[in-house]
Amino acid sequence: MARLLGRQVEAAERDRAAGDYATARDGYARIVARLRRGPSWWHSPLTKLFWAQALADALSVLGEIDMTRGRPDLARVSFEEARLRYQDLVHEASEDFAIVLNNLGVVYERLGLLPESAEALRRAVEISPDPRASLTNLALTLQAAGYPDAAMDALDRAAAFPGPADEVSRVLDGERVFHLMHRGDYATALVRLTERFERAGDPIDAAYAAGNLAQAYAELQELPEALRWQERAVQLRRRWQPGSLPLAIALHNLADTLASHGRAAEADGLLAEAAGLAAAIAPHGPELAAMRATRVWQLHAEGDPAAAVAVGEQALAALPALTRKTIGLLLALGFAETGLGRRDRARAHFDRARDLGTKISPLLPELRWVETALGRHLLDDGATAEAAGCFDRAIAVAESLRPGSAAEPGLERLFGTARSAYHGRIQAAWRERTPAGDAIAFHAAESFRARTLAELLTGPLPAPPPEAAQLVRELDETRWALGTIHRTGTGDPAPLEERAEWLRLRLRALDPRTADREAPRAGTLTEVQRELAEGVTVAVYEVTDDGVFLFAVRRDSFTFHRLDPSTERVVAAVEAVAAACADPESAAPVDELRQLGEWLLRPLADRLGTLAICASGVLALLPFEALELDGATLLEHSVVWSIPSATVLTRFGEVRRRVSGRPFAGFAMAATPGLGALPGAEREVRAAAEIMGDPDAIDLTPTPESVEAEAGDARYVHFAMHGQISDSQPLYSGFPLAGGTFLDAYRIAGFDLVADLVVCSACETAQGESRAGEGVVGLAYALFAAGARGVLVSRWNVLDTVAVRQMRAFYGGLAGGKPPAVAAREAALQIRRRQPHPREWAAFNLIDLSAGRTLR
């Protein structure tokens, strides 16, 4: 009998090694069945002991096979019996017992039984001679349960344990990166993953690092980088792991990103291939459930909710148990059922997804989507209070995941992906119409706004270490070359972009200036009111799919409004104004300006004297000063300026600044190769320098180095030259300077300025990429990051002669001691008297971080 069992084990192990897990499981199931019958009565006690040990071992292997096949429910049965049998056979501190406890802890985590998982894994850690694997699995459980700090402590303990540099070490390193991403520390995660890819000992390890790099970039919404790394991971998996589950996962991730790039045909083929592999290898596994959820989303997006429901229901029925991976499938089914008008069934799917996620952890990242979807569903059904609770929970999850640095790529976009929760909370508050709800809506809007800019304003960062200097130089050179490619449209930027990313990550590892810091919380209504001067109104406009909302904040009052027109009508009117102001032959958009004035300003009619405007979305580039109300423009009614967010007003007072050493620094480029001449640029900057009392403080052949040196200690800085703006590559926006050099936004952001105001009298310097949650990322953002407290930028191309006259009037006001907002208003009024088209006088937008106190 022993010989027969030995042959059966050998056969089952051959099938297991070949990846034929179904046959291997059948073999071990027969072995377990035979061992359960036990030895004959005449066998010795020692033989019976060996027989019992063999049964416990076979049960353990059977559980491992079921885990590989994606059946944690079956694995649980085998491991729990193996644990009981080992308890009767061996000392509880044995290695066999520790292995079973570790495997059982993993099974419990897959099934969402987190307390049981933590208990089993902690016991395994106590008795295992090498607890690194159990500590790593314990970290996964703690992370899922909502204890990220405890999870990282477990990983630190595992890393500190002496052991060989084996597979366990590689898994541990990967898990540490996984937890860094869950804590929002994407910068460090990217550094470590890049280093791991570079020093990978084999192609499988390189594929693992490439796949995780792709995941990190996808989370940051850096889709081109995600696509590049996913394609690399698929290439490695195809060559070295053909027909494997890791290849299926890599194909699925690549299909997801391709679909988001609009390459649906390619995505469909890859997804079908991935699902085919997963179905053959682990037909009940969570990986296949995730792939089928993606297919449900695709069918729903293609306008076929009935097919989506059919695929989703079939996938759900095939699952032996609901796990974390099932949440996406339930969510997709809910949306598909909504598309069919079956709201009760949709609600049931959303509720199941929430219950499953909450059971795992109330801060599970997937819950931001589930709670938002359920909140929208409830809002549509009129259950406003319940919907508000859903949005609050979604926002709590989003805020818990918010990284702390504005210096890394795409972080402002990451929180744009949660916009629906913030906007849903605003809509729910509007329906509730209570003072407390209105204040919550304001806080939600601020939580969604330019908090990373607020962080940049909290004070200076430490100097970089000397060893980072060479990397800085190389990165500057690479970015300069990239900027040339993006501006001219010639050459392939891909190799340089890869090099720039590599250098940036290396610099991130060395330079503490880009280390993540705790993100400042959004300002509350009370805090913003406390900072405002008497008579100042802050008007915060939030553009959402539900409509345009207005928060009007004064030191002693607060009102919350939903504007009458739909978002679509507002957008159409704003676009008409923009087109008229950009076209030198177009007539003034009188009707649109009056209509927008009625919509946007009527709720503020009795509070227009001193107005700070914070506008999101399409409104960010609207010339509010040109809007008409009761027969007069806002310029005539008010002193007006823009602010990036209300929160920055609460941060401004915390900043300690150097005292300016000179009144003015001016830079002009009258002629730039390839661009139109600006004969008035030199006159403009000379006039400004003379008015400010420093006629020699001008540079007519500026370079990036001279600008940085001369502008650093000036109170007012002036650029009279062409500006080049890249919406797709905002880092490479900037000014073409002498000698073919170019001053990019990324370099400006690294300056150390003390300027009260920087004037950019150039073409469209207010433009930039509109990013969710961060407003318009352009030159103004870079100048604020450098230390400026006010920026005057142009919204569209400005006639050279008009700019000269307007700047003379503006600087005359500044020299007379008037605050920038007052001086800008008076200069615009002066131009308007001669040239009434807003294209001529409303081109300049003052963005100021003050709360209006300088006006008194």
- What is the structure's pLDDT at 762? 63
The rounded distance, in Å, linking the Cα atoms of 623 and 596 is 11
**CA neighbor of 253 nearest in space, from 302, 202, 294, 300:** 294
Which backbone phi and psi does 539 adopt, to 5 degrees?
-105, 110
- What is the structure's pLDDT at 343? 95
- What is the structure's pLDDT at 505? 61
- What is the structure's pLDDT at 411? 31
Which backbone phi and psi does 417 adopt, to 5 degrees?
-65, -15
- What is the structure's pLDDT at 514? 38
680's enclosing H/E stretch is helix 680-691
Query: In the chain, what percentage of residues exceed pLDDT 70?
Result: 78
DSSP string, 261-308: TT-HHHHHHHHHHHHHHHHHH-TTSHHHHHHHHHHHHHHHHTT-HHHH
Q: When comparing pLDDT for 511 and 157, which is higher?
A: 157
Per residue in 659-711, pLDDT tens? 667 899 999 888 777 676 677 788 888 989 999 988 888 999 999 899 999 99
Q: When comparing pLDDT for 579 and 656, which is higher?
A: 579
Tell me which DSSP letter residue 619 carries: G
For tokens 């084999």, name the residue. 202
Secondary structure string (H, E, C) spanning 714-768: EEEEEEECCCECCCCCHHHCEEECHHHCEEEHHHHCCCCCCCCEEEEECCCCCCE
Per residue in 771-821, pLDDT tens? 333 334 457 777 887 888 888 888 887 776 777 788 889 999 999 989 999
The residue extents of the domains of the chain are: 1-129, 185-281, 367-452, 466-514, 532-642, 658-855
Using an 8 Å Cβ cutoff, are 31 and 12 in contact? yes
Q: Is residue 759's pLDDT more than 50?
A: yes
Give 1-129's CATH code, choosing from 1.25.40.10, 1.20.1260.10, 1.10.10.10, 1.10.287.810: 1.25.40.10
- What is the structure's pLDDT at 204? 81
Q: Is residue 717's pLDDT more than 90?
A: yes
Per residue in 241-280, pLDDT tens? 888 888 999 999 999 888 877 788 888 899 999 999 888 8
Q: Is residue 398's pLDDT more than 50?
A: yes
Per residue in 827-849, pLDDT tens? 999 989 888 899 888 888 898 88
Confidence of residue 13 (pLDDT cuts 50, 70, 90): confident
Q: Is residue 496's pLDDT more than 90?
A: no
Tell me what the mean pLDDT of segment 179-200 comes to. Answer: 74
- What is the structure's pLDDT at 314? 87
Model confidence, pTM: 0.71
- What is the structure's pLDDT at 722? 78
For tokens 């001679």, name the residue. 129
Q: Is residue 460's pLDDT more than 70?
A: no
- What is the structure's pLDDT at 255? 92
Q: Is residue 41's pLDDT more than 60?
A: no
For tokens 């709360």, name the residue. 851
Task: With H, G, I as helix, E, B as strand and everything else as coil, classify residue 413.
Answer: helix
Tell me what the mean pLDDT of segment 581-588 comes to. Answer: 86
Of the given ranges (104-108, 149-153, 392-396, 433-437), which has the lowest mean pLDDT? 149-153
- The dotted CATH code for 185-281 is 1.25.40.10
Query: In the chain, what percentage of residues exceed pLDDT 90?
Result: 23
- What is the structure's pLDDT at 591? 93
Task: With H, G, I as helix, E, B as strand and everything else as coil, classify residue 664.
Answer: strand
Tell me what the mean pLDDT of segment 317-346 comes to. Answer: 87
Using an 8 Å Cβ cutoff, are 610 and 637 in contact? no
Confidence of residue 43 (pLDDT cuts 50, 70, 90): low
Domain 658-855: CATH architecture, name and number where available: 3-Layer(aba) Sandwich (3.40)
**CA neighbor of 620 nearest in space, from 768, 455, 722, 757:** 768
Q: When comparing pLDDT for 418 and 822, which is higher?
A: 822
Whether the domain at 1-129 and the domain at 185-281 fall into the same CATH topology: yes
Per residue in 625-654, pLDDT tens? 999 999 999 999 899 998 888 877 776 644
Task: With H, G, I as helix, E, B as strand and everything else as coil, classify residue 782.
Answer: helix
Amino acid letter at 708?
A: E
Q: Is residue 407's pLDDT more than 50?
A: no
Confidence of residue 656 (pLDDT cuts 50, 70, 90): very low
The rounded distance, in Å, linking the Cα atoms of 308 and 298 is 8
- What is the structure's pLDDT at 53? 81
Using an 8 Å Cβ cutoff, are 366 and 327 in contact? yes
**If you average pLDDT over every residue of the chain, what do you get?**
80
Of the given ranges (9-23, 131-145, 448-462, 568-582), which has the lowest mean pLDDT? 448-462
- What is the structure's pLDDT at 518? 32
